[in-house]
Amino acid sequence: MSETLAELVRGLAAGRYSSVELVDASLARIRRHADLNAFITVDEEAARAAARAADQARGAGGTGLLLGVPLAHKDIFCTAGMRTTCASRMLAGFVAPYDATVVARLRAHGAVMVGKTNMDEFAMGSSNETSYFGPVRNPWDPTRVPGGSSGGSAAAVAAGLVPAATGTDTGGSIRQPAAFCGITGLKPSYGRVSRYGMIAFASSLDQAGPMARSAEDCAYVLAAMAGFDDRDSTSSERPVDDYIGGLSGDLAGLRIGVVREHFGAGLDAEIGAATQAALAEFERLGATLVDVSLPNSAASLPCYYVLAPAEASSNLARYDGVRYGYRAAGYRDLEDMYKKTRGEGFGAEVKRRIMIGTYALSSGYYDAYYLKALKLRRLVADDFAAAFAQCDIIAGPTAPTTAFALGAKTDDPVSMYMNDIYTIPVNLAGLPALSMPAGLAGGLPVGLQLVGRYLDEARLLRVAHRYQQATDWHRRRPPLS
């Protein structure tokens, strides 16, 4: 599927093809590239039925924003009638009785769900290697990771299996895999997209967002999924901007902040060069570069790995074998059932984070770790506020390296965590951020990250779209048949 989502929307409206034809092409490509392991569940019969309904609706004058367009959902969103596993043995057979708000809204706009994408277990990981269903492979080089935790969605879009997919981002899980797979991924502001029906990892950090070829594509998907939801107490009541209509315009007068801390030790030289070339392109388009500082950004990583595991330990306490999900066999009593169920149902990375989080919240350590991390989180947010007093958006590398080899970091969790060094501060501050392709290094995609003010997704999308009108990195494809 070589066309972008926006091109498919226009093609469907013009009658150049039907939804059934697009869905059949998507399903055929999913089967052809099953070795990527991008999907956990595909329901061909339901997808074709939804495509036929979309074609009938269009024939009757229907005009849904995404009417008839195939897409996929990360397997963290509840979907009525289709299992939602979170890539864990704990939920391997769970079928939700309702749709998440994100799923329901995309359905209401006519999108056709072809299946659920693979991910790191309970969204915990940076490589998509912690999945109970096996690792996803990067379409650019199948010996490498696609990034995580939304690696299945990123790989599916990059390989042309679907034109767009949903993802979630707790510390970079949309942007880092988007960078590794050469696509565009947007993490909206915290509260811009409802979390209802999105299985929780760290509730104060999690946010759903779109993953697609281009900023224009992301604008279409975000327009369909964003907005207030009274079932999510953290949902913003501020009206949604016109993301599609707001794409037009030049960059004259735009001030782009360049974070000095993001160009030091640890950044791959080729990624640094590609980032500087992208910044130079923005200058040619009329923007002005401004030096800014985020002095507490280096401390974001330890801050995050106290707060996120603490919230995860609480959120995952519900998986005990009593109400739903996996239950161990052969237990002696209730306590033994709890221990065996959680011991067998969770993978190593999930157990590690539950243990860290429980320790940080325990008596005697709550003040020393959790409360200090909360204070540091405030300092990180204050750094961004100070930077935005000097600029309109912030730009820099999305990740310090390109996609690394499968298995290269599985025995070194800290090294794995370091891949999120540029993305985590954004989640701590609750801001919107986007990653888009900005070059190649060693034949692998390089991602450029743009960070905006709170609820300023429209500006982020416009700036990214203008860059993509002037360059073709987002149109580069992996070497797949």
- pLDDT band for position 323 (cuts 50, 70, 90): confident
Q: Is 214 a catalytic residue?
A: no
pLDDT at 68: 98
CATH domain 1-481 topology:
Amidase signature (AS) enzymes (3.90.1300)
Of the candidates 26, 74, 150, 214, the residue annotated as catalytic is: 74
Residue 481 in this model has a pLDDT that exceeds 80: no
Q: Tens of pLDDT along 73-128?
A: 999 999 999 999 999 999 999 999 999 999 999 999 999 999 999 999 999 999 99
pLDDT at 148: 95
Q: Tens of pLDDT along 454-474?
A: 999 999 999 999 999 999 999
- pLDDT band for position 224 (cuts 50, 70, 90): very high
Q: Tens of pLDDT along 25-34?
A: 999 999 999 9
Percentage of the chain beyond pLDDT 70 is 100
- pLDDT band for position 67 (cuts 50, 70, 90): very high
Residue 191 in this model has a pLDDT that exceeds 90: yes
pLDDT at 471: 98
Of the candidates 149, 214, 297, 435, the residue annotated as catalytic is: 149
Q: Is 173 a catalytic residue?
A: yes
Instruction: Tell me the average pLDDT across 135-140.
Output: 98
pLDDT at 264: 86
Of the candidates 173, 189, 235, 313, the residue annotated as catalytic is: 173
pLDDT at 414: 87
d(CA 147, CA 175): 9
- pLDDT band for position 420 (cuts 50, 70, 90): very high
- pLDDT band for position 65 (cuts 50, 70, 90): very high
**Domain locations in the chain as residue ranges:** 1-481
Residue 48 in this model has a pLDDT that exceeds 80: yes
Confidence (pTM): 0.97
Q: Is 74 a catalytic residue?
A: yes
pLDDT at 364: 87
Instruction: Tell me the average pLDDT across 284-312.
Output: 96
- pLDDT band for position 265 (cuts 50, 70, 90): confident
Residue 478 in this model has a pLDDT that exceeds 80: yes
Instruction: Tell me the average pLDDT across 302-323.
Output: 96
